[in-house]
């Protein structure tokens, strides 16, 4: 075996997708590795079937689904059904914020939610 042979990791599963400056990137779980990483679509050779299956599944994953730990709540908004959503950053992926429903945050990280409310509530004294 020659030293010029390069080791190429094998994709086990696609975990998530994001857009960075209009370019698709996918979060890859590598076979025989505990480290996941983001890869641009043009860096994923021989993965088109997996990419198509992932896109077809139309599943939305957030940091909690991947076992990430919440870091900070950046803001809140109401969706089209008037459901309260929070924009949350996770310690394991500080480059992407995730929209998380209020009921999920109340269950998973109530102290972080209370901290957000305390910081962002405007109290008026009369």
pLDDT of 57: 64
Same domain, 52 and 30: yes
Q: Quick check: is 47 in a domain?
A: yes
Banded model confidence at residue 107, pLDDT cuts 50, 70, 90: very high
Within this chain, do residues 53 and 74 fall inside the same structural domain, yes or no?
A: no
Tokens read off for 112: 């972080």
Weakest mean pLDDT among 7-16, 29-38, 58-67, 106-115: 58-67
Considering the domain architecture, whether residues 52 and 77 belong to the same structural domain is answered as: no
Task: Evaluate whether residue 4 is within a structural domain.
Answer: no
Let me know if residue 34 belongs to a domain. Answer: yes
> Which has more pLDDT, 42 or 19?
42
Whether the CB-CB separation of 90 and 82 falls below 8 Å is answered with: no
Residue located via tokens 């310690």: 91
* Domain housing 88: 70-120
Sheet with 11-20: strands ordered across = 11-20, 23-30, 36-40
Percent of the chain predicted with pLDDT > 90: 27
* Residue 37 lies inside a defined structural domain of this protein: yes
Looking up residue 17, the CATH number of its domain turns out to be: 2.40.50.40
| Pick from 86, 80, 79: nearest CA to 103 | 86
Indicate if the pLDDT at residue 8 is higher than 70. no
Residue 53 lies in a domain: yes
Query: pLDDT band for position 42 (50/70/90)?
Result: confident
Is residue 45, in this structure, part of any structural domain at all? yes
Beta-bridged to residue 29, according to DSSP, are 13, 36
With bands split at pLDDT 50, 70 and 90, how would you rate the model's confidence at 4?
A: very low
User: Which are the contacts of 19, defined by CB distance < 8 A and separation ≥ 6?
Assistant: 25
Number of independent structural domains in the chain: 2
3-state secondary structure 18-76: EEECCEEEEEEEECCCCCEEEEEHHHCCCCHHHHHHHHHHCCCCCCCCCCCCEEEEEEE
Name the 3-class secondary structure at 125: coil
**Are 51 and 77 members of one domain?**
no
Please tell me whether residues 78 and 101 are part of one structural domain: yes
Q: Is residue 6 part of a domain?
A: no
Task: Write down the residue that tokens 């008026």 correspond to.
Answer: 124
């Amino acid at each position: 075996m020659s030293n010029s042979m390069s080791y190429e990791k094998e994709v086990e599963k696609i975990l998530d997708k994001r857009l960075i400056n209009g370019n698709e990137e996918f979060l890859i779980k590598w076979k025989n590795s505990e480290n996941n990483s983001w890869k641009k679509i043009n860096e994923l050779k021989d993965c088109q079937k997996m990419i198509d299956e992932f896109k077809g599944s139309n599943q939305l994953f957030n940091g909690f689904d991947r076992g990430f730990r919440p870091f900070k709540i950046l803001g809140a908004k109401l969706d089209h059904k008037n459901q309260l959503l929070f924009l949350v950053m996770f310690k394991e992926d500080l480059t992407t914020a995730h929209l998380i429903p209020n009921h999920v945050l109340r269950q998973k990280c109530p102290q972080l939610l209370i901290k957000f409310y305390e910081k962002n509530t405007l109290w008026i004294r009369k």
